[in-house]
Homo-oligomer: A and B are copies of this chain.
């Protein structure tokens, strides 16, 4: 049983990711046990927030003691469904796609890019980080062959919908879209947008109007 409650806020999922990051840091420092209070401080959140977030998934702490760091990392990972590897397809091997392919942390965290696809004939056949770039047309075959579950779109924005359509047709389960374009997907496909500019905009807003807001 991984989920105790029915609906889990999106914000909770985002925070769980932060908790893992901070807990891993504690682990590296040699801390074995941590209280919600101390974890909260390191994550800049309220301590009840942490306890409530965890309560959606189960009881992971020991009263009077706190949380065993390694155990909590394991529990959160299981709760999020990242206690196993996920096979990913990368569509669009340009600047950003290459940076992602070269990023070791993806496989370390369990997201393994097993297929790199592009439609540019000059790029097809090229090998990046031990991965051969193949034609987008091969997506359906490769998705089945390699059990790819998550599609990562790093094409130009005007091609994002097409890339999504390929992925959906190939039977992918979720899509992470790095292109700054809204795309339409059937509702059984999980879709996440990553837009770097959002945070640049937010930074500009807060710096500019630092006196009135913030």
- Which residues from chain A sit less than 8 Å from chain B, CB to CB? 2-3, 6-8, 10, 13-14, 16-18, 21-22, 25, 42-44, 79-82, 86, 95-96, 98-100, 102-103, 105-106, 109, 111, 149-150, 173-176, 180-182, 188, 190, 192-210, 212-214
Contacts and interface: CB of A to CB of B under 8 A. Distances in A.
Contact of A200 (B42, B111, B208): B111
Nearest to A212: B3
B180 A21 contact: yes
Given A98-B99, A182-B43, A209-B2, A174 B203 contact: yes
Nearest to A178: B196
**Oligomer: number of copies:** 2
Contacts of A209: 2-3, 81
A204 B96 contact: no
A209 B80 CA distance: 9
A60 to B, nearest CB: 17
Contacts of A43: 182
A207 B176 CA distance: 12
A98 B94 CA distance: 12
A174 B207 contact: yes
